[in-house]
Amino acid sequence: MRYMLLIYSSETVDADPAAMMAVANGHRAVMEEARARGVLLGADPLKPTSTATTVRTQNGKALITDGPFAETKEQLAGYYILDCRDLDEAMEWAGKIPTACYGGEGCVEIRPIHEMKMRE
């Protein structure tokens, strides 16, 4: 089953370069291991929330605003898509992901991906 692991962390403008490098190296190690074990389907960091655009539909019209969907302490920082046997394996992988990005606290949310059949 495919799982999306959503990585939440605090954005810090004045992040310590050494800490940023350590987190990047941690992610690289997890991705290399997941690729070697054949479960990695995708993984990417997201740009800062200052680059976000939110689209809401109201009365059939799109309302566009700058910024993320919600103001929160932690922001969605990136994701992994893994093909795991079960939730236990997905949790094992989530425990390897460095979430304290740039000195902030963080977490990894695990969501099973609902398999949709595409019409031809």
Provide the residue type at 45 as one letter.
P
Query: What are the structure tokens assigned to 110, written together?
Result: 């695990």
- Which residues in the chain belong to E strands, given as ranges? 2-9, 40-45, 53-58, 61-66, 75-83, 106-112
**Cβ atoms within 10 Å, residue 43:** 19
Question: What's the CA gap between 30 and 62, in Å, rounded?
Answer: 39
Q: Is the pTM of this model over 0.75?
A: yes
Question: What's the CA gap between 50 and 75, in Å, rounded?
Answer: 11
Question: What's the CA gap between 74 and 11, in Å, rounded?
Answer: 7
Question: What's the CA gap between 91 and 71, in Å, rounded?
Answer: 27
- Give the pLDDT of the chain (120 residues) as one tens digit per residue: 999 999 988 776 667 788 888 888 999 999 999 999 999 999 998 888 888 888 888 888 888 887 666 666 678 888 999 999 999 999 999 989 887 554 456 788 899 999 888 776
Which of 69, 77, 68 has the alpha carbon at shortest distance from 10?
77
CATH for 2-112, options being 3.40.50.300, 3.30.413.10, 3.40.190.10, 3.30.70.1060: 3.30.70.1060
Parse the chain into domains and list their residue ranges.
2-112
The string of DSSP letters for 43-63 reads: EEE---GGG-EEEEEETTEEE
